[in-house]
Structure 1
Amino acid sequence: MDLCGPMRTQSINGKKYILVMIDEYSRYTWLEFLKNKSDAAELIIEFLKKIQVRLQLPVISLRSDNGTECKNEKLQSYLISVGISHNFSAAYTPQQNGVVERKNRTLVEAARTMLAYSELPMFLCYILNDRDNLGKFDKKADEGYFIGYSLTSKAYRIYNRRTKTIMESINVSFDESSTLTSEHNSSELKLKQKVFIQDRVESEVKQNKSKFCNSNSE
């Protein structure tokens, strides 16, 4: 595991650290977002308890660097009490914790690519405003961006443009005919056409090369 941050741009909820945890065997990765570096110890303990119950498998050991988020009395006392060993990489040698360091770079590059490619969210959502005390002539819907699904209930996660907050709701209507969606689909189609043309050119080159080799052998 490793803690990334603080990020230059914090999230809407004020979180600017990312705790990355990887299973040594499967390379399955979990991410947790934190407001403060000091929250890491409690979060790691909660994660260890949860993951062992869900997988029905014991955690044998942890590997991390020497950062105070992982090397502190609270976390160490818990690990000792449950019999989990803790291995540290040497100071200023991130290569000893290379699995998670490479994953950090992959995650950052993936996030940067998605943001650059999409420019704006794909869908404009209309959310039923069932939380405020509305007057007779107040708008009953807000506009927002679809950003994912709830982890704890059957609901959509929406960024509400009016309140500038992330909310969860099932009362959502998707407008897939908006300009944003059309532009996204258009760019996606161009990308597919480019890949198709490239594949055809490579195929023809291989065929011509094969014919040339056969004629020389004859």
Structure 2
Amino acid sequence: MLIYTQALLFLWAEAVATACYTKNRSIIRLRHGTTSYELLHNKLPELSFLQVFGALCYPTNDSENLGKLQPKADIRIFIGYTPIKKAYWIYNRRTRRIVATIHVDFDELMMMASEHSSSGPALNEMTPTTISSCTTFKK
């Protein structure tokens, strides 16, 4: 997760916590046919608020002294979920602070664009020779 998002190395603890949080709510136990969260709490987990680690986000600036020309949001980086309430941990690179907030808009188009700009050949460029050159088998 840290390599994919090109995040700073001191965020490794947040990356591990976010991975555990996501895994506990998404991995299905084949023996029981449920998630680990469902086994502990006897209810289905809420998954609509899950976000991609390292996604750009814009927390709303609701301060009273906000002028007409001042920005109403600031660019931050999503780094995890708070353990007690349904809020997000976000990191500000400019001030180097981590803040918990619930009023956040996520830039999902940026994450979708990075999925489409891969280093491999495009789908319309796939021929048997390009497919065989891209695949390597280890013995």
Q: Tell me the TM-score range normalised by the shorter chain.
A: 0.3 to 0.5
Query: Higher helix share goes to which structure?
Result: 1
TM-score with structure 1 setting the length: 0.29
TM-score with structure 2 setting the length: 0.44
Q: Which has the larger radius of gyration?
A: 1
RCO (CA 8 Å, sep 6+): is it higher in 1 or 2?
Answer: 2
